[in-house]
Amino acid sequence: MEARKTSDSPAAVATRQVMVGSVALGGGAPCVVQSMLNAPARDVAANLAQVAALQEAGCEVVRMAIPSRSCLDAFAAVCAASPLPVVADIHFDAEAAVEAARRGAAKLRINPGNIGGLAACDAVMDAAGEAGIPIRIGVNAGSLEAGLAARTDLALPEKLAESAAGYVAYFEGRGFHDLVVSAKAHDVPATIATYRLLAESMPSVPLHIGVTEAGTAFQGIIKSAAGLGVLLEQGIGDTLRISLTDDPTLEVRACWTLLQALGLRRRGPELISCPTCGRCQVDLIALAKQVEERLAQVDRPLKVAVMGCVVNGPGEAKDADLGVACGQGSGAVFASGKIVRKVDEADILDALMEEIESL
């Protein structure tokens, strides 16, 4: 991830780096991809299966809810067996956060709106310090402290930023600096404004960015890309989660696609495909979907083009590593803009994959 840039300070500013297990967050490290487990909190096997699926998808840090202290044994078992660092997500119970730190959490997430006030965090800081793990101060628009929520002199972004700032000041006043901050809303403009305030007011603190309760896949990905894309382009955001009412692996895929689209990180292939028009003489939509499915098994950062016009295709996608331009009943496979072979329409998919595998 690029160092942070703010409107008040055009010069790049590096955030402080914290370690979440073996994963570096902030301080110029690449923007970290996160997701959250949604299996039942007491089901160790189900949670570990989900961790494995998320790791395969490219997730680097996972978060697990601890809805009650009775789930702490399961949480400890997941932490012990997980190949990824596990963050404990705590609401309402500071003592549960203390226990999670003692039982293997790689990081704690607490919510200022329901953790029980600043004084309740003293024991949490002590436990995190003893365990050598960071704490995320995670503010949510829907659970602001009552006093802040009732204020009429502040806009929502100002309330969110003030909540986070108060907790950061308290933690740092007690000598605890291993912090990450988030302040999320479901409204995209409010999210952007909030994180801009945070980036300006606490430029050294790593930020976890996200649009909370963004919705199901279609709406959620669009809202998240709109909000987080703006922030990331400005250098704001050291780690992100795209929150979806869907399979968590889709969150991870969406995160990587967004980072890749912005040129920040690359992991798997990028598919370039034209929207089709009256010149198209093959079922390009079906072909592009088939290519996309096959590319899901490729872990190299390639650019692959599927174009509907044999005349313009190679030129329009000349920066692709490989691609195909389709004509009537046939396709021309090209590499770096140059045609390498021509095949029948029925053989396009296999021919394209053969060329990818030969690289």
* Structural domain contains residue 3: no
Same domain, 195 and 315: no
Domain end: 197, 231, 261, which one?
261
**Residue 86: inside a domain:** yes
Q: Is residue 10 part of a domain?
A: no
One domain for residues 167 and 184 = yes
pTM of the model: 0.90
Q: Tell me, yes or no, whether 160 and 181 share the same domain.
A: yes
pLDDT of residue 314: 65
- Per residue, the 3-state secondary structure of the chain, as one string, reads CCCECCCCCCCCECCCCEEECCEEECCCCCCEEEEECCCCCCCHHHHHHHHHHHHHHCCCEEEEECCCHHHHHHHHHHHHHCCCCEEEEECCCHHHHHHHHHCCCCEEEECCCCCCCCCCHHHHHHHHHHHCCCEEEEEEHHHCCHHHHCCCCCCHHHHHHHHHHHHHHHHHHCCCCCEEEEEECCCHHHHHHHHHHHHHHCCCCCEEECCCCCCCHHHHHHHHHHHHHHHHHCCCCCEECCCCCCCHHHHHHHHHHHHHHCCCCCCCCEEEECCCCCCCCCCHHHHHHHHHHHHCCCCCCCEEEEECCCCCHHHHCCCCCEEEEEECCEEEEEECCEEEEEEEHHHHHHHHHHHHHHC
Given 228, 261, 294, the domain boundary residue is 261
Q: Is 192 found in the same domain as 150?
A: yes
pLDDT of residue 216: 95
Same domain, 68 and 149: yes
Are 129 and 207 found together in one domain? yes
The residue out of 261, 292, 326 marking a domain boundary is: 261
Residues 253 and 276 occupy one common structural domain: no
Task: Say which CATH number the domain at 256 has.
Answer: 3.20.20.20
Show Cβ contacts of residue 354 under 8 Å, excluding neighbours closer than 6 positions: none
Range of the domain at 92: 18-261
Same domain, 229 and 295: no
Q: Are residues 104 and 168 in the same domain?
A: yes
Domain CATH number, residue 330: 3.30.413.10
* Structural domain contains residue 171: yes
If asked whether residues 186 and 325 sit together in one domain, one would say: no
pLDDT at 310: 62
Domain count, the chain: 2
Inside any domain, residue 117: yes
Per-residue pLDDT of the chain (359 residues; tens, 9 = 90+): 444 543 333 334 589 999 999 999 999 999 999 999 999 999 999 999 999 999 999 999 999 999 999 999 999 999 999 999 999 999 999 999 999 999 999 999 999 999 999 999 999 999 999 999 999 999 999 899 999 999 999 999 999 999 999 999 999 999 999 999 999 999 999 999 999 999 999 999 999 999 998 899 999 999 999 999 999 999 999 999 999 999 999 999 999 999 999 999 998 888 988 888 777 778 889 989 999 999 888 888 889 999 887 666 666 677 888 989 888 888 889 888 788 999 998 999 999 999 888 87
For residues 178 and 216, membership in a common domain is answered with: yes
Q: Based on the fold, state whether residues 254 and 150 are members of the same structural domain.
A: yes
